[in-house]
Structure 1
Amino acid sequence: MANESTPTGGGATTIEDLHDDVLTRALRHLDGPALAAASCATSRLRSVSTQPHIWRDICLATWPSLRHPRLLRILPSFPHSYRSFFFDAHPFPSLHATAAGRGRLTELISAVDLYHDGAPIFSRVVETETTSSWFQGAPFRIDALDRKDLSTAALVISPADLTLSWVIIDPAGLRAVNLSSRRPVAVDRQWYTWDTLVRFATVLEVGGSVYSATVVVTCHEATGHVRELGLTVEDIDGICLNGRNSLGILGAALEGERKRETEGETEMRYEGFAKGKRQREEWTAMRERMLDLCCTTVGVSAFLSFLALVAFP
């Protein structure tokens, strides 16, 4: 006589036989990528794994800054609530973004989370109004931390062990993109203060030109305290864009595709950008030297011609 707990047909119990509450409890232990993979296994797993509260818990655990009251109101309005936000903000933006535009970016919300050795040490939400003439014309920069902020003063850190998430959110269009490389792409010294500059960057190609959204974390040389934390957008010549042009780049990143690449691939992207920038700088310097040489040659020739006219009237 068959055991009453055995499913009809004598087959072994499968995951499809579990109650929804049991499946939900199991899925809550997964991180975002694992949950996304599990949702592709069966239609039932997909149905259970799309529950908004599961993705809400994952997002809040991944990005502590999302506990900000305004974001708790905005994120449920995304097309598929927190699940849509995760699939926007967790992967890296594609290198080849859509054409610049997105004129409706009237406000940017930055959700910034800084970690040291995997532990969160700083979270902040920065709301930036983008329609003023001052913002449009001034060099683009969003500061999440300045020298007057002492919230991280007691922390002594190793700059190379920092990781960062900087999620830009469009509250009107309900899209988000993470502009940080997660791990540093470069660690340098500031020559006049000897502070340590930790760079996180995402490289984007928009309209045939290459740009870098760069976050620089400034750490005090003596103490290791975090002193500044700011986002800029620069072109291949190393020139920081103004607010108007930066909005075009950020809008392209928000609308573009997402790519599941490794942090190493993102670092290689930036190394290629930095190499191109150095080559442009070297070419510019050589061109300036050639121009100086030509000017000097013309000047000397003119002077010698003048002397010849004086000496041999």
Structure 2
Amino acid sequence: MATTTVEDLPADVLACALRRLDGRSLAAASCATAGLRALAADRETWRALCLARWPSLAARPDLFLSASPQRLFADAFPFPCADGAVPLSGAESQQQLPGELVSAVDVYHSGAPLLSRVVGTSTSSSWFLTSPFCVDAVECKNPAPVGRTVPPAELELSWIVMDPRGGRAVNVSSRRPVAVDRHWYTGETLVRYAVVLGGCKFEATVTFSEETGHIREVSLAVEDADGAAVSGEGSLRLLLAAMAGPRKGGEEEVEAAKGRYQEFVRSKRGRKESKARKEVLVDLCCSAVSAVAVLSFIAAVVLR
């Protein structure tokens, strides 16, 4: 008796079924057979998946011209490997630095998008290269309403950074919060999302007012292991290395991102305490030397 396989179905039926899969399932199906791979490579299917996952991309359809939707999904959906983002250096890497970065930012609650923004950042000026890296997706002057009943700790954030010229992208958000704090002065809730790349922390902060139900600010900044802000040029090198580096998928990576953030915070605190102890020791040594010098001077005057 002849064996019937899924590929015996008409091609249009198979294509319709594949369009109902999510990105991970579609990628897995494309690895099964050559026929499924050809059907799963449909550009419009992957474009629809990208727009469903990241509604903000609808504002920049030109981004699908520099990179195929399938490549964009493969770059942006998984997490970058923390150890794979070794910063580029040298004159050759200077020529590779992109002239623009595009941030696609989406805030969700229970899978429903609440806020979608696309921010273009010019990276060619000397001001950007030498200043601390910071991107604002929502500014305090123009808050976004999301509803007072949304628990801040349940907000999810997707922040994708893209290089339009190179056609590559990378996810720089832990998706779920790694920490929830209160602003000491305003009382607003600070929901933090972070990934650690190349020994530096990319931290996105959502400032949420529970009183008014507005997202007042969404920003991304980069910090090194000593707690100092990383410059625009240094951040570009980290991002390019992460775009070219390996990726990790799976739900467990969400928890792993939180663990790496907590380890980064502990390490920074330890380095700060060690630096403080060294400064105290140096101060004591300087005080001792000064005391010896004063006593020697007094002794010299008395014994003259």
Q: What is the TM-score normalised by the length of structure 2?
A: 0.91
**In 2, are the aligned partners of 1:140 and 1:242 still within 8 Å (CA)?**
yes
Matched with 1:116 is 109
Matched with 1:214 is 203
User: Which residue of 159, 164, 167 maps to 2:160?
Assistant: 167
Matched with 1:100 is 88
Deviation track 1:69-90 (CA, whole Å, cap 9, x = no partner) reads xx31221432xx2111100100
Is 2:84 aligned against 1:91?
no
The change in CA–CA distance for 1:225 and 1:300 in structure 2 (over 3 A counts) is farther
Counterparts of residues 38-57 of structure 1 (less than 5 Å): 38-57=29-48
Q: Distance in 1 between matches of 2:293 and 2:12?
A: 91
The change in CA–CA distance for 1:243 and 1:274 in structure 2 (over 3 A counts) is same
1:53 Cα shift?
1.1
**In 1, are the aligned partners of 2:136 and 2:218 still within 8 Å (CA)?**
yes
1:232 Cα shift?
1.1
1:312 Cα shift?
4.8
Q: Distance in 1 between matches of 2:276 and 2:7?
A: 67
- Which residue identity is paired with 1:158? P
1:98 Cα shift?
4.2
**In 2, are the aligned partners of 1:158 and 1:224 still within 8 Å (CA)?**
no
**In 2, are the aligned partners of 1:194 and 1:221 still within 8 Å (CA)?**
no
**In 1, are the aligned partners of 2:66 and 2:164 still within 8 Å (CA)?**
no
Which secondary structure state, in structure 2, belongs to the residue aligned with residue 72 of structure 1?
A: coil
Task: State the superposition RMSD in angstroms.
Answer: 1.9
Is 2:55 aligned against 1:64?
yes
Is 2:239 aligned against 1:267?
no
Compare 90-99 and 26-35 and name the one that shifted more: 90-99
Q: Distance in 2 between matches of 1:191 and 1:303?
A: 46
Matched with 1:3 is none
Gaps of at least 5 residues in structure 2 are none
Counterparts of residues 274-313 of structure 1 (less than 5 Å): 274-313=265-304
Which secondary structure state, in structure 2, belongs to the residue aligned with residue 288 of structure 1?
A: helix
Matched with 1:249 is 238
Q: Distance in 2 between matches of 1:228 and 1:123?
A: 13
Identical positions, percent = 49
Matched with 1:77 is 66
Q: Distance in 1 between matches of 2:149 and 2:142?
A: 15
Is 2:119 aligned against 1:126?
yes
**In 2, are the aligned partners of 1:140 and 1:233 still within 8 Å (CA)?**
yes
Which secondary structure state, in structure 2, belongs to the residue aligned with residue 37 of structure 1?
A: helix
Q: Distance in 1 between matches of 2:256 and 2:192?
A: 16
**In 2, are the aligned partners of 1:98 and 1:255 still within 8 Å (CA)?**
no
**In 1, are the aligned partners of 2:56 and 2:117 still within 8 Å (CA)?**
yes
Q: Distance in 1 between matches of 2:45 and 2:163?
A: 23
Q: Distance in 2 between matches of 1:77 and 1:228?
A: 30
The structure number with the bigger radius of gyration is 1
1:310 Cα shift?
4.8
The change in CA–CA distance for 1:117 and 1:298 in structure 2 (over 3 A counts) is farther
Which secondary structure state, in structure 1, belongs to the residue aligned with residue 121 of structure 2?
A: strand
- Which residue identity is paired with 1:86? F
**In 2, are the aligned partners of 1:156 and 1:223 still within 8 Å (CA)?**
no
Q: Distance in 2 between matches of 1:100 and 1:155?
A: 44
Q: Distance in 1 between matches of 2:29 and 2:111?
A: 25
Matched with 1:6 is none
1:301 Cα shift?
3.1
Matched with 1:142 is 135
Matched with 2:6 is 15
Matched with 1:183 is 176
**In 1, are the aligned partners of 2:102 and 2:121 still within 8 Å (CA)?**
yes
1:311 Cα shift?
4.8
1:220 Cα shift?
2.9
- Which residue identity is paired with 1:248? R
